[in-house]
Amino acid sequence: MPDPAMLPEFFALLSVDIFLLLSLLTCLLDERFPKAVPYIYQIAALIGFGHLLVSREFLALFGEYMRFWYNFFYMLVALANIVALNVYLAVEQKSWTLAKAWSGAVTFPILLIAVFFVSNYSYVQGLRFPTLILQIGLVISAVVMGVSVSVLLSPDLLNKLRRR
């Protein structure tokens, strides 16, 4: 097995950063979210920090396989929160423009990053992971992010496309 260039704890570190980002974004958009949400995300990030601490202490006890899955699960929770906030903006707040901006600027770029690292890790470690799902996720995230960037740089692009 090749040297683990990336440890499974990387996913926990990435998730901590995602929670912190969500905390700051929900603070910026505090008129659209409940007041407690930024603090809840700070606590979630702190839990991730504790999670890393525990992982370090029991590194020898927990195998690589187990470490990957509990870190991956924590990252899934973080990603689910991003999607949930996106859905909340779209459905509950009916802020379609903001929801679209959120999906283009936050949801899909972060999904792209997460999928990229998971596929890289599963390739290096020879993990039995459904690579097809990862590849599809990677392509979808990249396409949506590309379209979002194009729309952001040229807002008339969508109207032009509709006219055709």
Partner 1 sequence: MEIRKALFRKEMKLVTLLLTSLLIASASASIYYSISLQSTTTVGAPVVKFVTASDFPTGSNLTDSWVRLKLKSYPNATLTYERAVNISNTGGSDKTFRLTPSTPTGDSSSNWDYIKFIVYNNAIPGVVQGSLNYTGGGSWGNTGQTGLMTIGTGVQWTIRVITRSPSTANLNAVCNIVISVDVTE
Residues that bind partner 1 (CB under 8 A): 7, 9-10, 12-13, 16-17, 20, 23-24, 27-28, 30, 38, 42, 45-46, 48-49, 52-53, 55-56, 59
Decide whether 17 or 101 has the Cβ nearer to partner 1: 17
104: how many CB neighbours lie within 10 A of its CB? 19
How many whole angstroms separate alpha carbon 142 and alpha carbon 64? 29
Minimum distance from CB of 161 to partner 1 (Å)? 37
Q: How is residue 140 written in tokens?
A: 């979808």
- Residue 104 gets which letter from DSSP? I
Burial code (b: 16+ CB inside 10 Å, e: under 16) for 10-45 equals bbbbbbbebbbbbbebbeebeeebeeebbeebbebb
In the complex, minimum distance from the CB of residue 71 to partner 1, in angstroms, rounded to a whole number: 11
Q: How far is the CB of 90 from partner 1 (least distance, A)?
A: 24
Q: Which is nearer to partner 1, 9 or 138 (CB)?
A: 9
What is the rounded distance in angstroms from the CA atom of residue 153 to the CA atom of residue 151? 5
Q: Residue 58 CB, nearest distance to partner 1 (Å)?
A: 11
Report the residue number, 36 or 136, with the smaller CB distance to partner 1: 36
Q: Whose Cβ is closer to partner 1: residue 60's or residue 132's?
A: 60
Minimum gap (Å) between residue 64 Cβ and partner 1: 10
Specify the residue, 25 or 138, whose C-beta has the smaller distance to partner 1: 25
Q: Output DSSP code: residue 93.
A: S
* Contact by Cβ (8 Å): 30, 38: yes
